[in-house]
Amino acid sequence: MRRRGALWFWVFVGPFALGLALFTYVPLLWSVTLSFFDAHNTVTPTRFVGLDNYTAMLRDRAFVDSLRTFLVFTAFIVPVTYVFSLSLALMVNRLRTARAFFRSVFFLPAACSYVVAALIWKMSLFSGVRFGLANSVLGWFGGDPVAWLSTTDPPWYWLVIVTVRLWLQAGFYMILFLAGLQRIDPALYEAAAVDGARPGWTVLRHITLPQLRATSVAVVLLLVINAFQAFDEFYNLLSDARGYPPYARPPLVYLYYTALGQGQNLGLGSAGAVILALVIAVVTLGQARWLRLGRTDADG
Amino acid sequence: MTIRRRDLLAAGVGAGVLTACGSNTGRGGGGSGPELAQWYHQYGEPGTERAVRRYAAGFKKARVSVQWRPGNYDQQTAAALLTDSGPDVFEVNGPTLDQIRGGQVLDLTELVAKVKDDFNPAVLTPKTHDGRVYAIPQVIDMQMLYYRKSLLEDAGVEPPTTLDALVDAAHRLTGDKVKGLFLGNDGGAGVLGGTPLYAAGFRFVGDDGEVGFDDPAAARTLGKLHRLYADKSLLLGAPSDWADPSAFVQGLTAMQWTGLWALPRVREELGDDFGVLPFPRDGSQGRPSVPVGAYGAAVSARSRHKETAARYVQWLWVERTDYQEDFALSYGFHIPARISLAEKATALKDGPAADAVRFTTDHGYAQPLLWTPASQTAYQDALSRIIKDGAGPERELRAVVRKVSAELDRVKKTS
Amino acid sequence: MDDALVRAGRALRLVLLIALALLFLVPFYLLVRNGLAGEEDITSPEWTFFPRQVRWGNVGELFADPSVPFARSLLNSALIAVATTLGTLLLASLAGYGLARIPYRHANKVFYAVLGTLLVPAAVTFVPSFVLVSSLGWISTLRGLIVPTLFPAFACFVFRQYFLGFPRELEDAAQVDGLGYWRTYWLVVVPGARPVFAAVGTIVFLGAWNSFLWPLVIGQDQSAWTVQVALSSFTTAQVVRLHELFVAAAVSILPLLLVFLCFQRWIVAGVERSGID
């Protein structure tokens, strides 16, 4: 009987596990191996260089800058997206009419690709010349056109990046929150009302948020991983035929140019990828721990 | 896994739905024999694609299929050379030193031996490493400064011959509706590259193989570029970038840095109302400069028909001067890479085109082979910070010098 | 007085929601406005809310452009998205069911091995995946674009969680009737699990249609371009034709919006019932 179980187990799980091993675990090990070799323009390197690629990467100002930038970016975009999508969910959830309509409108951009969104933002909404929408609006009030993506002082490009991200992602997280809100037992609110709690901040703080904790943990986790792995919208907003400017450059974009660009330094690129992975792991685990600590505090 | 898709297809084996949908070899050509894949980047000029297909069809010893590739071409070829599904023959804006040393491209020295002196040395040298030639220059591309005569006259501005004059002119030409100068949407770091350094009398890599711009004067020159940005004289965020003369002909800017290839369109739209200049000199050691570059034809070391591929390259880019002339001059403006052809070209004999040829001969510089992509990235990042952030040029340049020295050491050590 | 306050609050909320909804729709409006306008309308310094002349011909022009195989890239994207969705649903649901229901000594270890890949960012495996696929000779093939993406750990995880909460009685009855795992799965489990299939399927479909980086490096050949890569090539081309760019973008999201509007209630239901979070 047990043998039969094992057989059926592998019939069901085997194909998926095999694919995962081949297309995730093999590249993973390969990547780690490459990172210890001098792998210029080759994937079967012969010159072992130990930790040289790692020290080079950690001394590379451009890479360290991009890591630092994205730590800051994450620290900013995660709470902003969290608060924004939670607010959307709370407002939509309380609606009595046209709920499906508003939910669809906010969720619709999730179907839009990052490439398309970047295109709209770069070429029309925040185009640097007069005919961009943002500059047209500025013009009505007598303002001068702003080169949104090319100006570093003040760094207007962050406005472009943050708005495009919120537009693309807020709807998806709103849906997760909506699902979470649906699962809250109405009796809890009734009990609170009996206790004299006014709907509003008190209820939100003492009932809604604690009840949403599981959803919140998941949302924050997804947001963090997402922020560090940013690529598509940055690449399509800011790169040109000559490369990518030295600001707002996600680590993944930098690695893309290092490893798969003309430089073709695959060892260095892999080392950078491993470092990035470690940073993500540390941040995610640290934050998961922190959130869990938060729970014991709240519960205790 | 050395069997390639097209061989499978040709043999009629394993041509399952997925394979059939996924590969289009664009097979063509009138020849018989083995099949060669030849890659070109997407040229903007109409007619070029048809022309190169016509040339390919003329080769009888192989069936050459031409692949026309838009998008980031250098990156595509660099990645494809790692694999067995890359091209046999390809044009390359290089090859890079690491591609040569990694043995990814074939040594083509023997193919050009007889006519070596006929190639413009400015573009043959960067394709040469230790005396061996790794790509055959196809045509010469160069960039220069275009200016609207009428706008300069209205503002009482002379065509600038020094960097200071350029900064000043750009400022005075900037008005409510028109900007003074367009150097690309990134503010110039990408397209200018080493041009200002060369205009100040420096070089990327000196004759001694060391960094050629480790000098406070170089930092001062680059620092001047920040003025252009700080004065708000630069057009930024235009719908098309520096390579396209649209911003210039549409009157968004009074001056634009772009390529010789844009000349026909500019002339068509502006008539005689424009002139061209090299990048103006700076400092007492300076002289004007223009960047020149060339796509070269190279043969992949992973080609399964190396000899035929090399033979094809020799046939097209050494022997068929009629095709070379047609390619350079019939579709937009390029300077033929062969001196004998350039001298014959009547289209380049007068007006701004003749100026461009003169700039190329007198002031042209090409990126040396030792200037690796890693050096380029470090330099370009620094230049961008100098121009846009007003970062201290001396400090930025010091960091670049360190990085480039390390790259040069790496390159020398293992070569 | 309290009532008035509550009512005012409600009105305020509605106004805010309407304003936000309008803002969220602006990008779609821009897509259509620019896509159906002539070049001079788009670049005119005077803003016009609607093109002076609506040019439906832009759509035809797009498909006639010889430099970008747009129809082909749409077809590729459709093939890839459908194949990826079906493949993922099949493989991941089987695995999820096996992990949830079939007793096996090492099941937990396998589960953690699957779960662990959720922590590994795509960045790490990105370069060698490319090399692996190219050494298989899959560059610029649909296989190369589809097969490596068929094993997302998140899908397997969601299915497992869902099946763990699936009422066991039905399956037990099926077993009593002499159905093995295989037939129980197809005859009892799959029909009962439609919402989670719809939810995961929609998310995978959207992801496959919109994916950019992988098709960018794998689909080198123009004939293997997906619609996202084709779009990206418009923005990096030497000569930018704005109206063409926007009409292409509009066409590229149209099928998706339709799929999405049809299936969104499934996604919501799936999220609620399967606890994707």
Which conformational region is residue B197 in: left (phi greater than 0), alpha (psi within -120 to 50 degrees), or beta?
Answer: alpha
Instruction: Report which residue type is found at B97.
Output: L
Domain positions in chain C:
2-59, 64-274
Q: Which of B98, B186, B238 is closest, CB to CB, to A264? A: B98
User: Distance, in angstroms, between B379 CA and closest chain C CA?
Assistant: 22
C139: pLDDT confidence band, cut at 50, 70 and 90?
confident
Closest to C186 measured CA to CA, from C197, C201, C200: C197
**Which whole number is the average pLDDT over A118-143?**
88
Asked if residue C272 has pLDDT above 80, the reply is: no
A300: pLDDT confidence band, cut at 50, 70 and 90?
very low
pTM: 0.85
pLDDT tens-digit map of B238-269 = 878 898 898 999 899 999 999 998 898 899 99
User: Distance, in angstroms, between C125 CA and closest chain A CA?
Assistant: 5
A153 with B239: Cβ contact below 8 A: no
Q: Provide the β-strand partners of residue B211.
A: B205
Using the Cβ of B23 and the Cβ atoms of chain C, whether some distance falls under 8 Å is answered with yes
The pLDDT of residue B24 is 37
User: Distance, in angstroms, between C34 CA and closest chain B CA?
Assistant: 13
- Tell me the count of A-B CB pairs closer than 8 A: 104
B189 with A263: Cβ contact below 8 A: no
How far, CA to CA in Å, does B347 sit from each of A61, B142, B328, B340? 48, 16, 11, 14
Question: Which DSSP string do the residues of B306-339 spell out, in sequence order?
Answer: HHHHHHHHHIIIII-HHHHHHHHHSSS--EESBH
Question: What is the rounded distance in angstroms from the CA atom of residue C165 to the CA atom of residue C171?
Answer: 12
User: Distance, in angstroms, between B98 CA and closest chain A CA?
Assistant: 7
**Which whole number is the average pLDDT over B57-80?**
84
C137 with B72: Cβ contact below 8 A: no
First to last CA, chain C: 41
Question: 3-state DSSP call for residue B241?
Answer: coil
Peptide bond into A154 cis (omega under 30): yes
Q: Which residue has the higher pLDDT, B244 or C277?
A: B244
Question: What is the rounded distance in angstroms from the CA atom of residue C251 to the CA atom of residue C256?
Answer: 9
Q: Which residues of B touch A153 (CB under 8 A)?
A: 388-390
Q: Which residues of C touch B68 (CB under 8 A)?
A: 67, 222
| Chain A, nearest residue to B179 by Cα | A129
Q: Crossing angle, helix A157-182 and helix C242-274, to 10 degrees?
A: 30
DSSP B292: E
Q: Are A251 and A235 in contact (CB under 8 A)?
A: no
Domain positions in chain B:
5-141+292-365, 142-290+369-414
User: Distance, in angstroms, between B410 CA and closest chain A CA?
Assistant: 11
Q: Crossing angle, helix C227-236 and helix C70-101, to 10 degrees?
A: 130
Interface ipTM: 0.86
Q: Could you tell me the two tokens for B253?
A: 């800017």
Q: Which of C139, C140, C239 is closest, CB to CB, to B240? A: C239
B185 with A129: Cβ contact below 8 A: no
Q: Are B63 and B76 in contact (CB under 8 A)?
A: no
The pLDDT of residue A184 is 85
The proportion of chain C whose per-residue pLDDT surpasses 90, expressed as a percent, equals 25
Question: What is the rounded distance in angstroms from the CA atom of residue B15 to the CA atom of residue B25?
Answer: 13
Question: 3-state DSSP call for residue B258?
Answer: strand
Q: Which of C68, C131, C221 is closest, CB to CB, to B23? A: C221
The pLDDT of residue C20 is 95
**Which whole number is the average pLDDT over C62-79?**
87
A35: pLDDT confidence band, cut at 50, 70 and 90?
very high
Q: Which residues of C touch B44 (CB under 8 A)?
A: 238-239
Closest to B350 measured CA to CA, from B246, B290, B249, B267: B267
**Which whole number is the average pLDDT over B174-189?**
92
**CATH of the structural domain B5-141+292-365, one choice from 3.20.20.10, 3.40.50.300, 3.40.190.10, 3.40.50.720:** 3.40.190.10
Strands (E), B9-135: 35-41, 63-69, 89-92, 128-129, 132-133
Question: 3-state DSSP call for residue B201?
Answer: coil
Could you say which architecture CATH assigns to the domain A44-299? Orthogonal Bundle (1.10)
Instruction: Report which residue type is found at B165.
Output: A
The count of other CB atoms within 10 Å of the CB of residue B370 is: 18
Q: In sequence order, what are the residues at sequence separation of 6 or more whose Cβ sits closer than 8 angstroms to the Cβ of residue C107?
A: A9, C98, C99
A220 by Cβ neighbours in 10 Å (0-12 / 13-18 / 19+) ranks as buried
pLDDT tens-digit map of B308-358 = 999 999 999 999 999 999 999 888 788 999 999 998 888 888 899 999 999
Using the Cβ of C79 and the Cβ atoms of chain B, whether some distance falls under 8 Å is answered with yes
Instruction: Report which residue type is found at A128.
Output: G
Question: What is the rounded distance in angstroms from the CA atom of residue B140 to the CA atom of residue B138?
Answer: 7
Q: Most confidently modeled of A221-235, A248-262, B209-223?
A: B209-223
CATH superfamily, domain at B142-290+369-414: Periplasmic binding protein-like II (3.40.190.10)
Dihedral (Cα; C240, C243, C244, C246), 10-degree rounding? 100
CA angle C60, C65, C66 (to 5 degrees): 145
Asked if residue B134 has pLDDT above 70, the reply is: yes
The pLDDT of residue C235 is 64
A19: pLDDT confidence band, cut at 50, 70 and 90?
very high
Pairing status of strand B136-147 against strand B128-129:
unpaired
pLDDT tens-digit map of B351-361 = 999 999 999 99
A261 with B373: Cβ contact below 8 A: yes
The pLDDT of residue C124 is 67
CA B162 to chain centre: 25
The pLDDT of residue B26 is 41
The pLDDT of residue C21 is 95
**Which whole number is the average pLDDT over B284-294?**
94
The CATH number given to C64-274 is 1.10.3720.10
